[in-house]
Amino acid sequence: MKRAPLIALLAVGLFAAVFATACGSDNTSVGANDVAVVGDEPISKEQFDELLDRALDNYAKNKQQFPAAGTAQYVALRRQAMQFLVQRAQFEQKAKDLGLEITESDVDKQMLTIKSQYFGKNGKCDAACEKKYAAEIKKQGVTDEQVREDVRASVVQNKIYETVTKGVTVTDKDIEDYYKKTKQNYVQPESRDVRHILVKKKALADSLYQRAASGENFAALAKKFSEDPSSKAQGGKLPISKGRQVPEFDKAAFALDVGEISRPVKTTYGWHIITALTAVKKAKTTALSEVKPAIRQQLLQQEKTDAMKAWVEETQKNFEEKTTYQVGYEPPASTNATATTK
């Protein structure tokens, strides 16, 4: 199983992107071996250092230079590591508040999904699959326990997401309003199929036009002479929609009768000889009934995202006075740090 570098790891959570830097209070003491306290849960220096070590390993595996201490990149990595650990602790506590139970069976099921996806088949992981999994995590420099910890965090996030978005709905009126507002997106312009030959020199274009107009096989000429890599192998065949080609080509291609061959047309690409294969299909607006399921799904996903974002922001706000950082580990702009005598 491929392990992501730290920056990617920090985005594993469904909601990491909407977590801003948290502030904390100074009324909770942070232990000498901890970097922060979230609610009543400490985050140890060992956890923090482990996360940075895993980032270092990933940089090395990708043959990238790990940011030097004191650089902006290094500071950003430390900040992201802290935000990741704080977020995870917050979500664990909020899961309890929501009455969500995260069992080992839940983790086992997700682990099986991951193993079977990468190393097994048909949703199963046999002895050979387990062996491949063990070899891969060894190669990646992580333990099964660490993987399970990451998986547990994703299970927590998924369960919270399902709970928070459970009541989100989209009405028919929502769909109709969206369709009316974006109706232009569902208009299919006039279209037809053509063949064309593209060359750079006018003299060659004139010669090929004369040969095609005299009855020589147009597709064969296109395969031999055309310089358009997208259609050459197909004998110059090209499905086109009005307004989506350069204007000169567009005008000539849609003015042809079926079977008619154009004289050479100059565009920024060169000289084209065009012949129409099919009649022009009229522009059509896709009916609401045809796109309604897709619009519903799109709007529903957006509503769920908005609901989750609002929940995350509220959660962050609620934890502002419950999160305390060790001096040297606090995010920028946080004045809520506890000094510990060493």
Domains and CATH numbers, the chain: 6-168+298-338 (1.10.4030.10), 190-282 (3.10.50.40)
CB 281 within 8 A of CB 191: yes
pLDDT at 57 (0 to 100)? 86
pLDDT at 338 (0 to 100)? 52
pTM above 0.75, yes or no: no
- Residues 6 or more apart whose Cβ sits within 8 Å of residue 198: 226, 227, 228, 269, 270, 271, 272
The list of the chain residues with pLDDT below 50 reads 1-27, 334-335, 339-342
Q: What whole-number distance in Å separates Cα of residue 317 and Cα of residue 20?
A: 10
* Short-list 319, 309, 325, 324, CA closest to 78: 325
pLDDT at 321 (0 to 100)? 86
* Short-list 196, 214, 209, CA closest to 275: 196
Q: What whole-number distance in Å separates Cα of residue 228 and Cα of residue 236?
A: 8
pLDDT tens per residue, range 161-217: 999 999 999 999 999 999 999 999 999 999 999 999 999 999 999 999 999 999 999
Sign of the Cα pseudo-torsion (227, 228, 230, 233, in order) = negative
pLDDT at 328 (0 to 100)? 85
Q: What whole-number distance in Å separates Cα of residue 143 and Cα of residue 57?
A: 13
For residue 307, count CB atoms less than 10 angstroms from its CB and return exposed for 0-12, middle for 13-18, buried for 19 or more.
middle
